[in-house]
């Protein structure tokens, strides 16, 4: 099931610096992408065969609904201090994007259309 991490963050009068190092996530990062300019649409709507992801809301906020076929969970990403780790089996919908939200995704694999599963589980909604 998905796991929400609180990133080490250093704060002082100059601002904040949050750190995500390779020993904190359970996979090597091969691809980065970010989602922004989202209207009232949902994003995601899939799970993967092999790809793990780490989601960080750099600015703004969004909600993530996760379903691994056994249980479901909702997350509110609203600070860059948090990182949501998604396993390949985690079906995820991204929704309720605030204006000017930028959501960063760190992925364990390069893009491969054959890695996507667009059928959601029937239970644990």
- Say which residues have a Cβ less than 8 Å from residue 124's Cβ, sequence separation at least 6: 67, 68, 69, 70, 71, 72
How far apart are alpha carbons 50 and 31 in whole angstroms? 14
Tokens of 118: 């667009």
Active site residue 46: yes
Distances (CA, A) of 58 to 4, 17, 88, 115, 118: 15, 12, 22, 26, 26
Of these residues, 46, 48, 52, 74, which one is catalytic?
46
Q: In a 10 Å sphere around its CB, with 0-12 CB exposed, 13-18 middle and 19+ buried, how is residue 56 labelled?
A: buried
Residues marked active site are found at: 46
């Amino acid at each position: 099931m998905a796991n929400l991490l609180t990133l080490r963050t250093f704060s002082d009068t100059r601002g904040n610096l949050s750190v995500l190092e390779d020993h904190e996530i359970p996979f090597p990062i091969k691809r980065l992408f970010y989602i922004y300019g989202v209207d009232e649409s949902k994003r995601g709507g899939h799970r993967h065969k092999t790809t793990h992801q780490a989601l960080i809301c750099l600015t703004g906020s969004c909600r993530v609904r996760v379903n691994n076929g056994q249980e479901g969970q909702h997350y509110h990403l609203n600070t860059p201090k948090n990182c949501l780790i998604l396993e390949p089996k985690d079906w995820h919908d991204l929704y309720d994007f605030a204006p000017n939200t930028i959501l960063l995704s760190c992925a364990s694999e390069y893009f491969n259309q054959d890695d996507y599963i667009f059928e959601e589980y029937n239970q644990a909604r």
